[in-house]
Amino acid sequence: MTRKRASSYSKKRLRNLPQYKDMPEEELDALIESKLLNITKHEDFEERIKDQIEEFGEDYDLEDLKANDLLTLRALAQAYIKLEDFENYDYDLRTNKELELDDMLDMDKLNNIMSKLRGDISKMQDDLQITKKARKGDTDATVLSELERLKKAASEFYEERMSYIFCPKCNMLLATIWVLYPEEKSNKITLKCDRKIPISDNEYEICGHKFTVTTKELLAKRGINSDKVPDTFK
């Protein structure tokens, strides 16, 4: 059977201490009650700190915090609790219809304390460098946004490095190429356009234009061999 540990403030234990040996019974009982009340208040405060840290954990990523960070986190939770209590007290003072001078002075001191607390909270948040947890919707939106950014960047990268060869006769895009050595004079590309060009409802003709382009020419014209091309390629 497990024995229950006796309270540190048992009457018998206090009586053995010199300062309480001759204290009247009623005063000793009152002293014990006061000390036990303080213990209860301390436990309540610890519970509030625990709840506040758990609340932080719902909104912030606290997994990688080191030992000194955890101490700062506890101090941050206490600061939040104090600020909440002071704000409630300030509200009680302000809603009192019969404010006296002492109340006004208390409010002024209280505002200074709360202002300092807010500054301390801000500094501790910066020291911890904790980031908000992304909500699922925010995460999905961020992923989609990042994919769009990557697609755009890939498209711009592709467009900047590729060369476009158009038929000089009908402006049909015939080839998209990338050349490692575009300045080499002997690098040439010969193409024949087989585009079908309608001439009536049931008839068409083949463009048939044959031409040669050098990679050096493409380089000089910024990757496009013809001036008669759609605006999207200019």
For 171-185, how does the pLDDT look when each residue is reduced to its tens digit (9 = 90+)? 899 998 888 888 888
Element (H, E) at 212: strand 210-214
Within 8 A by CB and 6+ apart from 226, the residues are: 166, 167, 168, 171
Q: What is the pLDDT of residue 26?
A: 74
pTM: 0.41
User: Where among 128, 152, 187 does a domain terminate?
Assistant: 128
15 vs 27: CA distance, rounded Å: 12
pLDDT reported for residue 214: 92
Read out DSSP for 157-189? HHHHH-EEEE-TTT--EEEEE--S-TT-TT-EE
Instruction: For residue 49, give both structure tokens.
Output: 């700190």
Together in a domain, 91 and 25? yes
- Residue 122 included in any domain: yes
If one counts the domains in the chain, the total is 2
Minimal CA–CA distance to 61: which of 133, 152, 7? 133
Digit-coded pLDDT (tens) for 16-40: 666 667 777 777 666 666 655 555 5
208 with 99, same domain?
no
Tell me: the pLDDT tens digits for 194-213?
Answer: 999 888 888 889 999 999 99
3-state secondary structure of 224: strand
Residues 119 and 43 in one domain: yes
Residue 59 lies in a domain: yes
Q: What's the average model confidence in pLDDT over 161-169?
A: 88
**Are residues 184 and 121 part of one domain?**
no
Question: Would residue 185 count as lying in a domain?
Answer: yes
Same domain, 35 and 118: yes
In this prediction, what percent of the chain has a pLDDT beyond 70? Answer: 69
| In-domain check, residue 148 | no
Residue 141 within a domain: no
Q: Do 95 and 204 fall within a single domain?
A: no
- Average pLDDT over every residue of 54-73: 82
Residue 10 in this model has a pLDDT that exceeds 60:
no
3-state helix, strand, coil in the chain (%, to 5): 55, 10, 30
Residues 175 and 85 in one domain: no
When pLDDT is cut at 50, 70 and 90, the band that residue 192 belongs to is very high
pLDDT for 65 equals 78
What is the structure's pLDDT at 11?
56
**pLDDT of res. 210:** 95
Domain containing 93 equals 11-128
Q: Are residues 48 and 120 located together in one domain of the fold?
A: yes
- pLDDT tens-digit series, residues 92-143: 767 765 666 666 676 777 788 888 889 888 888 888 877 665 544 455 556 7
pLDDT at 135: 46
Q: Is 145 contained in some domain?
A: no
Answer yes or no: is 86 within a domain. yes
Report the distance separating Cα 182 and Cα 167, nearest Å: 20
pLDDT value, residue 24 = 74
- Answer yes or no: is 62 within a domain: yes
Residues 6 or more apart whose CB falls under 8 angstroms from that of 178 comprise: 161, 162, 163
